[in-house]
Every structure is written in structure tokens, then in C-alpha cells.
Structure 1
Amino acid sequence: MLQPADWTAPRGYSNGIAARGRVVLISGQVGWDGQCLFHSSDLVLQARQALQNIVAILAEAGGKPEHLVRMTWYVVDKREYVAAFPKLGEVYREVIGRNFPAMTAVQVCGLIEDAARVEIEATAVIPD
């Protein structure tokens, strides 16, 4: 983790990560299952599924959640996202654990999948 000594520590993410190894790039994952079916319109449940999708793809490369170094969250409603912070934190820790990569969250006017409330892309580095 890259954290200047005189900065306030971030909560739930890292300001920077340095890593060496095999880079795995995971495209944006929405809250649908492996058959492209949404089972909920709830942001938190969709985020859980998107995170589970990321973990499944990462496993295909021999990686684990602790190898994630960067995530970008695209949300369609900033207020909904902020209001859901506590529940999103619980879901995140349940699926990813206590690994907090560098993260960015961006509100967008829409996602390609109309039913999607969130899309998450990720980068991982699996050590040599």
C-alpha cells in the first residue's frame, strides 16, 4: 500500500498499490449471474453478484481476492450508493475480504445493461 505518512488513512480503499507479477484485467462486471440473468434490482445484491463474478474470473487465472490491486465502480445513482455504504461494506468484506485495493467510484448516466445498478471493473496482480 502506498500511503504518504502525513495523509489521513483512507477507509475501505487504498490510495495506491505497488505490485509485481502476472497482471489480470477484468472487464466491467454487472450484477447478473453466469447466464446473464439479473436476480435483483437492489444495488447491494447486484454489487455482491458483480464482486462474485470478479472473484470467479480471477480464479480462472489462479488468483484470489487478495491479488486485486484496482477497482472502478460505476454507479447509476450516487445517493443510492452513498446511502448503501454500510451494507456495501459488509458485502465487500464477505466476498473480497479485508483487501482494499486502489478504488474509484463514478456516477454515470446509465450502463449498457438497463437493469444494472452498478458495474465494477478490476485489475489484479498475481505474484510470480
Structure 2
Amino acid sequence: MTHKVIHPDGWLPAKGYANGMLAKDGTLHIGGQIGWDGNKEFVSDDFIGQMRQALLNIRAIVESAGGRVEDVTRLTWFVTDKGEYVAAQRAVGEAYREVFGKHFPAMSMLVVAGLVEDRAKVEIEATAHLG
């Protein structure tokens, strides 16, 4: 087997996608995470609450694979409202550091017209290297 599906214990099943795929070489690809918890329930309707939850989800997936947030090497952010993100810079930084500490991997941010889940304001995908 060249890869392993990573799915945190207690989360509802992922249907039609995987939350994480761990390759034989230790590369962990994490699918886009949004502001819902392991029960697929949104924790908030505000940007900061959703962003924090998406990052918590990424951390849970990395830890389920045996890693830590410091193993994350890339984050790609998709946001639906650039103005909301820019206006909340201080809160964004605080929420980010609550989850990832002072670990800042390579990052990209794209502004998108919408996400598949209508309530979602942000989606974040990640790559980590374990081992």
C-alpha cells in the first residue's frame, strides 16, 4: 500500500473524500477543512470561529497521523470575503497562534466566490511531512 487514509477517531465518516492521505514517504495531504467539527456541525457563523475550527481540524488530522502542527509545511486558505479577513487581522493572528503557536508554514490565500457548504466562510487545506 502506498498511502493510508487518516480520519480522526470519533469524527463522522467522510463521504466521497478523505480528510487526510498519508503517503509512504511521510507526506500527509489534508483535504480542505471548514468551520465544522467532527460531527459536521458548524461551531460559528463568524469568520474567526470558523477559521479557528478549520485549523483545529487540521491539527486533529495531523495528530491522528502521528504528527504535530510543526510538521505542517503548507497551508492554502480559501476565503469568501477578503474584507472580513482583512478587518479581523488581530483576531486572525490570535486565533491562529492559539492553534498553531508560532509555527508559520508556507501559505497562500485565495478569495473565492463561494464554497460547497453555503455557511462556510473559509476552507483551509494543508500538507505536512511526518517522520
Same fold (TM over 0.5): yes
Q: Tell me the residue number matched to 1:108.
A: 112
Instruction: Report sequence identity in percent.
Output: 54
CA distance in 1, matches of 2:124, 2:48: 13
1:118 and 2:122 matched: yes
Segments of structure 1 that go 5 or more residues without pairing to the other structure are 1-20
SS of 1:41's equivalent in the other structure is coil
Segments of structure 2 that go 5 or more residues without pairing to the other structure are 1-24
1:45 and 2:49 matched: yes
Which stretches of structure 1, 4 residues or more, deviate above 6 A after TM superposition? none
TM-score (norm 1): 0.81
Kindly indicate whether the alpha-carbon contact (under 8 Å) linking 2:35 and 2:49 is maintained by their aligned counterparts in 1: yes
Shift of the alpha carbon at 1:61? Answer: 0.7
CA distance in 2, matches of 1:112, 1:55: 22
SS of 1:120's equivalent in the other structure is strand
* Residues 1-128 of structure 1 aligned to structure 2 (within 5 Å): 22-126=26-130, 128=131
Q: Which has the higher contact order (CA 8 A, sep 6+)?
A: 1
SS of 1:99's equivalent in the other structure is coil
CA distance in 1, matches of 2:50, 2:35: 4
CA distance in 1, matches of 2:100, 2:30: 15
SS of 2:49's equivalent in the other structure is helix
Shift of the alpha carbon at 1:22? Answer: 1.2
Kindly indicate whether the alpha-carbon contact (under 8 Å) linking 2:43 and 2:53 is maintained by their aligned counterparts in 1: no
Shift of the alpha carbon at 1:85? Answer: 1.2
Q: Give the alignment's Cα RMSD to 1 decimal.
A: 0.9
